[in-house]
Amino acid sequence: MRTLLLALLLVPAGAAAYDRGELTEFNDMYRSGDYQEALDGYRQVIAREPSNQWGYFNAGNALYRLNRPGPAVYNYARAFMLDPRDGEIRANLEFALRQTGQTLVPEGAPAALHYAYYFVAEAELKALALLLFWLACLAGAAAFLLDGNKLGLAAGRASAGAALLLLLTLAWLGARQSSPFSSAGVVTKAGGTLMLSGPGENFKTYASAPEGRIVKILDTGDEAYYEIGLPKEGIKGWALKTDVERL
């Protein structure tokens, strides 16, 4: 627990992704307790570089200090989805989830297996699948053109190997669709959001989702409402889109 608390006190070094002056400025603001000003700076970085995990991570730190657990969980989760192997990102997400009654590693799941499941980011898996697809195609074409000699045989084996790895990668991608972060959002409204029986204020309220809760987004078709689900409780309902940030 002490390690997790210490991690929250630090702004990690993601300097390669920032202009050095900005990094120093925003981090100095954070260390001086000017959390809102630091947050505004980190959001500038996110707006420019939406794939920058450190922008989200640092924003999560500032939001946690501002006692805004929902947006903090959202930003930590975004950082985790971009860089699931980083220990500090994982530790702070786990800490923030525990503060909102959740866990990163499901109960009963081996920590090592969970780490392996998220070892590669989804974007990396998609890029790997695309690379393997073209490798299998090119090697297959080479095997066809060089049929009858050793190079053709080697190319055929390479094509088969790439195809097998492609199938495994696609299976991994498919398994990741059951991840809590897939087709999900975070309740970011202070105090939580109401869950209605339909998409409109005239429908009955029968449940609520607390701030910081990761929810499944089941339907995005309505202009103002998401249909969201709480898998653990087995319930679903409609919540204002302004109350839920999509991951």
* Residue-wise burial string across 147-184, b where 16 or more C-beta atoms lie within 10 A, e elsewhere: eeeeeeeebbebbeebbebbeebbebeeebeeebbebb
pLDDT tens digits, 54-76 = 889 999 999 999 999 999 999 99
Question: Checking DSSP bridges between strand 214-219 and strand 225-230, what pairing results, if any?
Answer: antiparallel
99 shares its domain with 6:
yes
110: number of Cβ within 10 Å = 9
Do 107 and 146 sit in the same domain of this protein?
A: no
- In tens, the pLDDT along 99-154 reads 999 999 988 888 888 888 999 899 999 999 999 999 999 988 888 888 767 888 88
The better pLDDT of the pair 10, 131 is held by 131
Where residue 235 sits, what CATH number does that domain have?
Answer: 2.30.30.40
Q: Are residues 171 and 205 in the same domain?
A: no
Answer yes or no: do 189 and 171 share one domain. no
If pLDDT is split at 50, 70 and 90, which confidence band does 89 have?
A: very high
Q: Single out the residue in 74, 90, 114 at which a domain terminates.
A: 114
Same domain assignment for residues 214 and 192: yes
How high is the pLDDT of residue 13? 41
Are 188 and 161 part of one and the same domain? no
Is residue 54 domain-shared with residue 94, that is, in the same domain?
yes
The number of domains in the chain is: 3
**pLDDT tens-digit series, residues 178-194:** 889 999 999 999 999 99
Domain boundary residue, one of 72, 98, 114: 114
Residue-wise pLDDT tens digits, 159-168: 899 999 999 9
> Mapping DSSP to helix (H, G, I), strand (E, B) and coil, where does residue 208 land?
strand
Shared-domain flag, residues 99 and 131: no
Same domain, 159 and 66: no
Q: Across all residues in the chain, what is the average pLDDT?
A: 87
Q: What are φ and ψ of residue 30, in 5° steps?
A: -60, -50
Which amino acid appears at position 9 of this protein? L
Among 233, 218, 227, which Cα is nearest to 193's? 227
Per the structure, the complete domain to which residue 222 belongs is given by 184-246
The model carries a pTM of 0.86
1 pLDDT more than 70: no
The predicted-structure confidence for 15-54, as pLDDT tens digits, reads as follows 344 444 566 678 788 888 899 999 999 999 899 889 989 8
Structure tokens at 15: 């300097």
One-character DSSP codes across 3-47:
HHHHHHH-----GGGS-HHHHHHHHHHHHTT-HHHHHHHHHHHHH
* pLDDT for the residue numbered 165: 94
Secondary structure element (H or E) that encloses residue 61, with its range: helix 53-65
Closest CA to 244 of 73, 22, 93: 73
Asked if the model's pLDDT at residue 217 lies above 80, the reply is yes
